[in-house]
Amino acid sequence: MQQENHFEWKHKDLLDVDTLSVEDVMHVFKTADQFHEINNRPVKKIPTLKGRSVILFFYEPSTRTKTSFDMAGKRLSADTFSLAKSGSALQKGESLKDTALTLQAMNPDIIVLRHSSSGAAQFLADRLPCSVINGGDGWHAHPTQALLDSFTLRQHWGDDFYGKEVLILGDIAHSRVVRSNVQLLSKLGVRVRLCAPRTLLPRGVESWNAKVFTRLEYAVEGVDAVMCLRLQLERQQAGLLPSLEEYSRTHCLTARHLELAQPNALVMHPGPMNRGLEIASDLADAPNSVILEQVSSGVAIRMALLFLFATRNDRHVDQGDA
Ligand code: NCD
């Protein structure tokens, strides 16, 4: 695989996007471009990470993130090992720290962690010498989702995000996806709008780098893309919404709303979708929907991240030798 010369990947872990510079992000994208191309070939496996091991430690359910990390590792010939809460000793009451130390003793190169507690990835990263990639922690962060979302937008807009406007719509209060996306999109020069019923806006949202709306018809006006978020029914404290019918009547994205956006506005959703609740079903399948492109981007981005983290020490040695 062709490597960009002179770029040093300095990070041990990926906990959120705040620690990444724009140059880091562009380097991830350029690395992912090469893998994206490989993913479209008939034979998709390359030996780049042969002999490296990646543990997928998913304490919360996941379809896309876990499968795409697994596929990403396997396409690079790394050995991937999956561990879920059920079936692991965590279910017997073992602490996260003890489970992690046990996994570390097996000497993996990378642990990908999804956990219901905000800060869980940081907790492991502070204690383990291997790289830790945050696959989503509580409401806090989901950096790989934000990277794959911007990578998908880049396929349509090119490298120049400056001045584009993206609306993120839905359950802002309980979403880790929105928190990482606001940071990354604004870092890339995108103007971000947020829209939700007042009860689904988190405290302090005024200080985020985004313009906040409660009325969808105002929020959607003139935007270049709309990213719908899933209503996080499992994280809802009772009483935040009058009813699901009321929510979908006021905040479900429909074709009628999208007519107010730019003519070719893209429709996004990180999945899993509640069709008819946060996004009209026909819109999810419409030609300007890039929801399945997001899934494909996810494999390429996660290949790039596994590659950069698993080989970061090799490059130091190489550069030292040169
Ligand atoms: C998201 C997550 O888990 O935070 N899903 C994903 O990773 N594709 C969004 C969600 O669960 O709503």
Q: Which of 114, 142, 174, 299 to mutate to test the pocket of ligand 1 (most atoms within 8 A of CB)?
A: 142
Question: What does the chain come to in residues?
Answer: 322
Sheet bearing 131-137, strands edge to edge:
79-84, 53-58, 110-115, 131-137
- Three-state DSSP class for residue 159: coil
Question: What is the residue-level pLDDT of the chain in tens, covering all 322 positions?
Answer: 555 557 899 999 999 999 999 999 999 999 999 999 999 999 999 999 999 999 999 988 888 999 999 999 999 999 999 988 777 777 777 788 888 888 899 999 999 999 999 999 999 999 999 999 999 999 999 999 999 999 999 999 999 899 999 999 999 999 999 999 999 999 999 999 999 999 999 999 999 999 999 999 999 999 999 999 999 887 666 677 778 889 999 999 999 999 999 999 999 999 999 999 999 999 999 999 999 999 999 999 999 999 999 999 885 544 444 3
pLDDT at 237: 65
From the CA of 60, give the closest atom in ligand 1: 3
CATH topology of domain 17-141+298-310: Rossmann fold (3.40.50)
| Cα–Cα distance measured from residue 17 to residue 20, given in angstroms and rounded to the nearest whole number | 5
CA angle at residue 82 from 76 to 83, to 5 degrees? 155
CA of 208 to the centre of ligand 1 (A): 21
CA of 232 to the centre of ligand 1 (A): 9
pLDDT at 315: 59
Same fold, 17-141+298-310 and 143-294: yes
Smallest Cα–Cα separation from 179: which of 198, 220, 160, 207?
207
Measured by CA distance, the residue closest to atom 7 of ligand 1 is 65
pLDDT at 314: 86
**DSSP for 230-265?**
---GGGPPTTSSS-HHHHHHHH-B-HHHHTTS-TT-
From the CA of 142, give the closest atom in ligand 1: 4
Paired strand residues for 134: 113
**DSSP for 180-191?**
HHHHHHHHTT-E
- Three-state DSSP class for residue 54: strand
| Cα–Cα distance measured from residue 11 to residue 131, given in angstroms and rounded to the nearest whole number | 9
Cβ count near 30 (within 10 Å)? 14
CA of 180 to the centre of ligand 1 (A): 12
CA of 207 to the centre of ligand 1 (A): 24
CA of 52 to the centre of ligand 1 (A): 27
Question: Which backbone phi and psi does 72 adopt, to 5 degrees?
Answer: -60, -45
Cβ count near 287 (within 10 Å)? 7
pTM of the predicted model, to two decimals? 0.94
| Cα–Cα distance measured from residue 222 to residue 262, given in angstroms and rounded to the nearest whole number | 5
CA of 18 to the centre of ligand 1 (A): 19
The highest-level CATH class for domain 143-294 is alpha beta
pLDDT at 301: 98
For helices 143-157 and 22-39, the axis angle rounded to 10 degrees is 70
pLDDT at 321: 42
From the CA of 232, give the closest atom in ligand 1: 12
Classify burial at 229, counting beta carbons within 10 Å of its beta carbon; exposed 0-12, middle 13-18, buried 19 or more: buried
Locate the domains of the chain by residue range: 17-141+298-310, 143-294
- Judge whether 248 and 201 are in contact, CB under 8 Å: no
Q: Which of 58, 65, 69, 177 to mutate to test the pocket of ligand 1 (most atoms within 8 A of CB)?
A: 177
For residues 106-134, b (16+ Cβ closer than 10 Å) or e, as one string? Answer: eebbbbbbbbeeeebbbbbbeebebbbbb
The three state secondary structure string of 277-305 is: CCECHHHHCCCCECHHHHHHHHHHHHHHH
CA of 62 to the centre of ligand 1 (A): 7
CA of 271 to the centre of ligand 1 (A): 6
Pocket of ligand 1, beta carbon within 6 A: 64-65, 136, 142, 145, 176-177, 230, 232, 270-271
pLDDT at 41: 94
Residue type, 151: F
- Residue with token string 């550069």: 319
Tokens of 12: 């041990």
Paired strand residues for 105: none
